């Protein structure tokens, strides 16, 4: 896939869940090809250290261990961004966590809360902090990573589906509420992406083949397939787009 240019040089990004998978690939593109400045967060310091080594971006990259479901951690994250780069132009809410669960009616409430906290509440807390900064800067952009699971119930993914549906609703609500502040809020909803996060599904040949049969383009998504629409939504070319969810699913939701 040829890398496009989105005119993001010098922009300051906060990317959650950025130590691996889609988040790491977003950071790589921003730093290498767009010459942007990136604040990367993840829960584990070890993962962030590995990301620093992989990205080799010098002063344009700052990392901050963050549990995004904790308000105090999120406050530290955004304070670090401002202290390092002076502002935040774009927030990419990429953190996603799923545990294979039984019927949602039978799932342990602790498991329910963990999945909701990491996906939905974390997205809310980060968006809230970013919006407060962006209002004083004259605008900004928030891009949420959802999933087609938000609109497609699947065995073992009930709570995750509910959390992602909440993220899509939050995207629309914030888009309306923040429009007058020149803050655009959108989401990208992938089908299954070939990352370590989804490996329990695609690493099983039978499950992999069953999933691919439901995708007209005949393959799973790669992280790079998701990065391009995300960066477009971060660009000035998307300045009149808000409240939208772009499916990046190889046609899976069409059939």
Q: Name the residues annotated as catalytic.
A: 160
Checking DSSP bridges between strand 12-16 and strand 90-93, what pairing results, if any? Answer: parallel
Strand, coil or helix: what is 38?
A: strand
How far, in Å, CA of 35 to CA of 178, rounded?
27
Strand order from edge to edge, sheet including 37-42: 61-65, 37-42, 12-16, 90-93, 140-145, 183-190, 245-248
The CA-based angle 110-189-33, given to 5 degrees, is 115
Contact criterion met (CB below 8 Å) for 31 and 57: yes
Contact criterion met (CB below 8 Å) for 4 and 228: yes
Q: Which residue has the tokens 């829960």?
A: 43
Q: Residue 5 class from Cβ within 10 Å (0-12 exposed, 13-18 middle, 19+ buried)?
A: exposed
Q: What is the CA radius of gyration of the chain?
A: 17
How far, in Å, CA of 197 to CA of 99, rounded?
10
How far, in Å, CA of 122 to CA of 233, rounded?
21
């Amino acid at each position: 896939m040829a890398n496009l240019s989105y005119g993001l040089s010098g922009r300051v990004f906060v990317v959650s869940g950025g130590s691996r998978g889609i988040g790491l690939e977003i950071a790589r593109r921003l730093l290498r090809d767009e010459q942007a400045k990136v604040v990367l967060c993840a829960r584990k310091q070890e993962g962030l250290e590995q990301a620093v080594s992989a990205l080799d971006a010098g002063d344009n990259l700052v990392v901050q261990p963050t549990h995004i479901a904790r308000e105090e951690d999120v406050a530290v994250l955004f304070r670090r961004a401002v202290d390092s780069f002076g502002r935040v132009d774009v927030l990419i809410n990429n953190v996603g966590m799923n545990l294979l669960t039984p019927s949602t009616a039978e799932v342990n409430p602790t498991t329910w809360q963990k999945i909701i906290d990491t996906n939905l509440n974390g997205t809310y807390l980060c968006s809230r902090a970013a919006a407060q900064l962006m209002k004083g800067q004259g605008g900004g952009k928030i891009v949420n990573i959802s999933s087609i699971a938000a609109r497609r119930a699947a065995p073992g993914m009930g709570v995750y589906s509910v959390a992602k549906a909440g993220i899509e609703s939050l995207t629309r609500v914030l888009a309306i509420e923040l429009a007058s502040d020149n803050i655009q809020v959108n989401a990208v909803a992938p089908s299954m992406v070939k990352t370590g996060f989804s490996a329990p599904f695609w690493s099983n040949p039978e499950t992999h083949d069953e999933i691919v049969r439901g995708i007209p383009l005949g393959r799973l998504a790669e992280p790079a397939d998701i990065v391009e629409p995300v960066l477009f939504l971060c660009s000035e070319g998307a300045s009149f787009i808000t409240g939208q969810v772009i499916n990046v699913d190889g046609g899976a939701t069409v059939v």
